């Protein structure tokens, strides 16, 4: 029978979330609770539910900021609690734990009810609707993206919103196929690997920065790279191909390359809405636990570096809200239908239940909420913060951030 | 076509034993909902290449389904019957290509937000089946052994963190002749309790000398097969229009003979070996992934009484393109990263062993090869304890079993 129907666990595994909870809802609640408790003890954050109930200052803290900027980071291709927020995992995320979470409003229970493939899930985050497009096809989202709402409602130019993403499929994420929005109204998308492909020359070894689609490790999509990319380098990022090549040689992963491009974009274009998709963690699909852990540690470090960049760039310091959230988790060890950390194929509760943090720009600091949110709540929240209407989104604005 | 329209001649393309099985049970198959039946046929079509434990499970399942009253039948399958399928899905040739149908169904369930309903129906079905026809208890307690850390001279991080709470951690194990002791133990069990595919030795590198009574699978022995497969994959990837899903379908159709494995050998084992490489993710390029996945599949499918898994260093990370193209003499190894992989792999080996019937009696040993660290788990070993007393692997095994 299918893996769902056979090899089911016949004994409980002591101490697991799955054993303690009896239904998917209960497992999700339990997961959020344990994540909350880990954070309360390790990062010293306060329980937001209690604050909201008792404190007169508990109402919205996101003070109106003229020309607020928002940066959204999707945390690297899915990581599980036991390698991140659980006690044994916290050593892998020192920057999140010690630097970012104490400054954040943290949501411990963000549920993704959609398809758990990276492109389609990221597209769902960007539209606020659970998209059903083929994860591996080069297709635009079917519903308007946050970038389109932002530009159309606020009449912003194309240079004011950018997406920096890995190459596989994400080149279409900037604008939807929706007739009322779509072409010409979306974000400009930069694919650092395409840039590097266009810029590289000679025999220098850039291969480590051109890693491919991890979800199907043996499939390598063709990387383009040409005149347009070189033009992007020189006119938009103000980088010569030679400088770009030289700097790329000092980097160790595709996500590091992405952060380098992001910094350059922030400095040269200062977009108001910037979306960064990290992907290194997804090496987990190759089944190598050590590389998966390395990916988490690197992503944690890069998030810390991004936050420092925000503080040091005059266009961003003091008026930027940074959102960090995974697109989804990964399969639990307890589900016999999966193979633990390697994939996100079972659709189990743990692979659907993730977290989100929001910091900067007036967000309340060191507060944690464990009420359930939906992945699709992000876009209407961005809309409420920035002043656009996410009219087709299925989500709801997150009151605790407004 | 719907299940009720099934005729015996529709199964003419099935291998002989599989054809015999499905035609003998065709009235049962005709009653099953389409959201369920191809999953069963996916198993049945491979019946000729199944391990004994798998054949027995399919036989018992079909026998049980055939004995259900109409009311029971409805109760068992109401969840599946509630899954809405599109005409396109229904019209797919699910009799000839049940595995591909299941792939398509999976994608369809995701996109129509029915995966949770399917998952619930499947879980309930699995529970009912386990209760109605529980698997046979093993004649002796199972023994799992995992050896990690080959070629690592020293390691300062904590090992076996996930396994220690479940057993006793020994810090002063004499490493001399350790691997031979373990292989001899496995061989002795194979002689004392012989059975087809009951005692396994999986190696992530080159196999050590071992008793031929053991069923053996190794990354090293499949080097030629892997090279042929990687060449084929590169060729396929270069085809216009080839995407991940098409590649997956192509790989699923590869047979042992296509990769130079002679079907005159052990056809069941050769099919198993090829599937490790064509269905596993990362098994083609990382030896640690190969060893872990091979162990998982051996436990899930063959349900062995004894399983010895030895991890070996994998190649260092490079881009997938490079990994697909590397020649063996070009590979650079990562022993410490491999130890971390294997440490987690050992935990997964134990978890997967615990999923089998008889888990409460089973035993598991993990050893840091050529070092003094081991964890032993069995009903006889106190959980969450540590010992610094000098011992050796022979003694540990005698305490466990």
pLDDT digits (tens, 9 = 90+) for A21-52: 456 666 666 666 677 666 666 666 776 754 44
Q: Do the Cβ atoms of B352 and B301 come closer than 8 Å? A: no
pLDDT above 60 (res A306): yes
Residue pair B304/B198 in contact (Cβ under 8 Å)? The answer is: yes
Nearest to B348 among A9, A286, A340 (CB): A340
Rounded to a whole number of angstroms, the distance from the CA of B102 to the nearest CA of chain A is 9
Q: For chain A, what is the domain count?
A: 1
Give domain status of residue A215, yes or no.
no
Range of the domain at A364: 27-192+268-401
Rounded to 10 degrees, the C-alpha dihedral B77/B80/B86/B90 comes to -50
Residue B333: strand pairing partners: B315
Chain B CB within 8 Å of residue A24 CB: yes
Using CA atoms in the order B114, B117, B121, B126, what is the torsion angle rounded to 10 degrees? 90
Find out whether A245 and A216 touch, Cβ atoms under 8 Å. no
Chain B positions touching A132 (Cβ under 8 A) are 110-112
Closest to B168 (Cα-Cα) out of B368, B386, B351? B386
The 10s digit of each residue's pLDDT in A146-193 is 999 999 999 999 999 999 987 666 888 999 999 999 788 999 998 888
Say if CB A194 and CB A212 are below 8 A apart.
no
B285 Cβ under 8 Å from any chain A Cβ: yes
Do residues A10 and B361 touch, judged by C-beta distance below 8 A?
Answer: no
DSSP one-letter code for B298: I
- Give A5's contacts in chain B (Cβ within 8 Å): 39, 122, 125-126, 129
> What are the helix and strand counts (H, E) for chain A?
13, 10
| Residue in this structure with the two tokens 């709402």, named with its chain if needed | A149
Check if A4 contacts B (Cβ < 8 Å): yes
> How large a percentage of chain A has pLDDT more than 70?
76
Per-residue confidence (pLDDT) for residue A171, from 0 to 100? 82
Q: What pLDDT tens digit does each residue of chain B (401 aa) get?
A: 899 999 999 999 999 999 999 999 999 999 999 999 999 999 999 999 999 999 999 999 999 999 999 999 999 999 999 999 999 999 999 999 998 899 889 888 888 888 889 989 998 999 999 999 999 999 999 999 999 999 999 999 999 999 999 999 999 999 999 999 999 999 999 999 999 999 999 999 999 999 999 999 999 999 999 999 988 888 887 777 666 667 777 888 899 999 988 767 899 999 999 999 999 999 999 999 999 999 999 999 999 999 999 999 999 876 555 555 656 666 789 999 999 999 999 999 999 999 999 999 999 999 999 999 999 999 999 999 999 999 999 999 999 99
Nearest to B355 by CA among B164, B115, B142: B142
| pLDDT tens digit sequence for A356-401 | 999 999 999 999 999 999 999 999 999 999 999 999 999 999 999 9
The verdict on a CB contact (< 8 Å) between B354 and A343 is no
Domains of chain B: 3-132 (no CATH), 143-222+282-318+330-400 (3.40.720.10)
SS3 (DSSP) at A388: coil
What is the CB neighbour count within 10 angstroms for residue B383? Answer: 12
Q: Has residue A134 been placed in a domain?
A: yes
Task: Report the C-alpha gap between B158 and B173 in whole angstroms.
Answer: 16
Distance of alpha carbon B140 from the chain centroid: 21
Express each pLDDT in A79-128 by its tens digit: 998 899 888 899 999 999 999 999 999 999 999 999 888 889 999 999 99
Any domain includes A245 = no
| Within-domain flag for A185 | yes
Asked if A334 contacts A14 with a C-beta cutoff of 8 angstroms, the reply is: no
In a domain, A148, yes or no: yes
- The pLDDT value recorded for residue A332 is 92
Q: How far is B96 from chain A (nearest CA, A)?
A: 16
Check CB contact under 8 Å for A210 and B319: yes
Spatial CA neighbour of B104 closest among B123, B121, B120, B85: B85
Q: Which residue has the tokens 């039948």?
A: B73
CATH of the domain at A299: 3.40.720.10
Q: Is residue A163 part of a domain?
A: yes
pLDDT tier at A218 (50, 70, 90 boundaries)?
very low
pTM (predicted TM-score):
0.90
What distance in Å separates the CA atoms of residue A77 and residue A279, rounded to the nearest whole number? 5
Q: Cβ–Cβ of A24/B281 closer than 8 Å?
A: no
Residue A42 lies in a domain: yes
Residues 158-187 of chain B with CB under 8 A from chain A are 161, 165-166
State the pLDDT at residue B119: 86
- Domain assignment present for A48: yes
**Taking the CB of residue B68, how many other CB atoms lie within 10 A of it?**
17
Please list the alpha-helical segments (H only) found in A115-226. 118-127, 146-154, 192-199
Tens digits of residue pLDDT in A52-74: 433 334 344 445 556 899 999 99
Averaged confidence pLDDT in chain A: 82
- The phi-psi region of residue A128 (left if phi > 0; otherwise alpha if psi is between -120 and 50; otherwise beta) is left
Distances (CA, A) of A211 to A118, A168, A283, A376, B20: 16, 10, 9, 29, 48
The CA distance from A222 to A167, in Å, is: 9
Who's near B89: CB < 8 A, 6+ residues apart?
Answer: B34, B101, B104, B105, B108
């Amino acid at each position: 029978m299918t893996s769902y129907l056979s090899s089911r666990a016949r004994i409980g595994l002591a101490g697991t979330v799955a054993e303690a909870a009896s239904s998917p809802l209960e497992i999700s609640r339990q997961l959020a609770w344990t994540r909350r408790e880990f954070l309360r003890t390790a990062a010293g954050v306060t329980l937001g539910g209690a604050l909201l109930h008792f404190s007169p200052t508990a109402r919205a803290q996101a003070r109106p900021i003229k020309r607020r900027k928002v940066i959204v980071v999707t945390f690297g291709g899915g990581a599980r609690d036991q390698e991140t927020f659980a006690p044994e995992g916290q050593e892998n995320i020192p920057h999140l734990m010690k630097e970012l979470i104490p400054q954040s409003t943290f949501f411990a229970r963000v549920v993704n009810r959609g398809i758990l493939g990276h492109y389609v899930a990221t597209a769902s985050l960007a539209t606020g609707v659970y998209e059903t497009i083929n994860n591996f096809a080069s297709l635009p989202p079917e519903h308007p993206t946050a970038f389109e709402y932002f530009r159309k409602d606020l009449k912003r130019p194309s240079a004011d919103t950018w997406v920096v993403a890995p190459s596989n499929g994400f080149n279409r994420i900037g604008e939807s196929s929706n007739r009322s929005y779509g072409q010409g109204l979306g974000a400009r998308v930069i694919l650092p690997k395409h840039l590097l492909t266009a810029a590289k020359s000679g025999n220098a070894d850039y291969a480590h920065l051109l890693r491919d689609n991890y979800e199907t490790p043996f499939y390598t999509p063709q990387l383009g790279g040409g005149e347009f990319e070189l033009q992007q380098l020189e006119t938009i990022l103000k980088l010569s191909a030679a400088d770009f090549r030289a700097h790329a040689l000092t980097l160790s992963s595709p996500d590091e390359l992405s952060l380098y491009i992001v910094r350059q974009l922030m400095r040269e274009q200062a977009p108001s809405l910037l979306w960064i998709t990290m992907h290194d963690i997804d090496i987990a699909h190759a089944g190598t636990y050590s590389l998966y852990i390395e990916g988490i540690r690197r992503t944690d470090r890069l998030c810390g570096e991004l936050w420092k960049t925000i503080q040091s760039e005059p266009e961003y310091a003091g008026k930027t809200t940074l959102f960090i959230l995974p697109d989804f988790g990964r399969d639990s060890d307890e589900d016999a239908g999966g193979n633990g950390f390697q994939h996100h194929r079972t659709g189990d509760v743990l692979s659907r239940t993730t977290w989100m943090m929001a910091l900067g720009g007036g967000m309340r600091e060191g507060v944690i909420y464990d009420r359930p949110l939906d992945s699709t709540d992000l876009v209407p929240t961005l809309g409420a913060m920035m002043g656009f209407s996410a009219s087709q989104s299925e989500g709801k604005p997150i009151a605790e951030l407004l | 076509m719907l299940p009720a329209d099934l005729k015996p001649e529709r199964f003419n393309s099935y291998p002989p034993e599989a054809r015999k099985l499905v035609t003998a049970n065709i009235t049962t198959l005709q009653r099953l909902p389409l959201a369920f039946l191809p999953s069963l046929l996916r198993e049945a079509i491979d019946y000729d290449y199944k391990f004994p434990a798998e054949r027995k499970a399919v036989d018992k399942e079909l026998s049980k389904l055939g004995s259900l009253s109409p009311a029971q039948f409805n109760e068992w399958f109401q969840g599946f019957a509630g899954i809405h399928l599109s005409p396109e899905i229904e019209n797919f040739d699910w009799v000839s290509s049940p595995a591909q149908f299941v792939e398509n169904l999976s994608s369809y369930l995701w996109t129509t937000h029915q995966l949770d309903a399917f998952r619930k129906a499947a879980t309930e079905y699995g529970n009912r089946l386990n209760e109605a026809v529980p698997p046979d208890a093993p004649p002796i307690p199972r023994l799992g052994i995992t050896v990690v850390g080959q070629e690592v001279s020293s390691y300062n991080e904590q090992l076996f963190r996930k396994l220690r709470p479940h057993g006793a951690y020994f810090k002063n194990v004499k490493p001399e002749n350790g691997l031979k002791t373990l292989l001899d133990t496995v061989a002795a069990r194979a002689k004392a309790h012989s059975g087809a595919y009951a005692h396994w030795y999986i190696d992530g590198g080159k196999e050590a000398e071992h008793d031929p009574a053991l069923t053996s699978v190794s990354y090293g022995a499949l080097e030629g097969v892997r090279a042929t497969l990687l060449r084929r994959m590169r060729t396929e990837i270069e085809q216009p229009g080839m995407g991940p899903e098409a590649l997956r379908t192509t790989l699923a159709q590869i047979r042992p003979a296509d990769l130079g494995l002679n079907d005159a050998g052990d056809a069941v084992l050769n099919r198993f070996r090829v599937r490790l490489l064509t269905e596993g993710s990362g098994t083609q390029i990382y030896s640690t992934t190969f060893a872990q996945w091979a162990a998982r599949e051996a436990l899930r499918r063959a349900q062995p009484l004894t399983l010895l898994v030895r991890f070996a260093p994998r190649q260092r990370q490079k881009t997938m393109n490079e990994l697909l193209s590397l020649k063996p003499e070009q590979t650079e190894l990562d022993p410490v990263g491999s130890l971390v992989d294997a440490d987690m792999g050992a935990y997964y080996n134990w978890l997967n062993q615990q999923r089998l019937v008889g888990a409460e009696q089973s035993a598991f040993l993990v050893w840091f090869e050529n070092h003094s660290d081991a964890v032993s788990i069995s009903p006889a070993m106190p959980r969450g304890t540590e010992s610094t007393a000098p011992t050796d692997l022979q003694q540990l095994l005698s305490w466990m079993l």
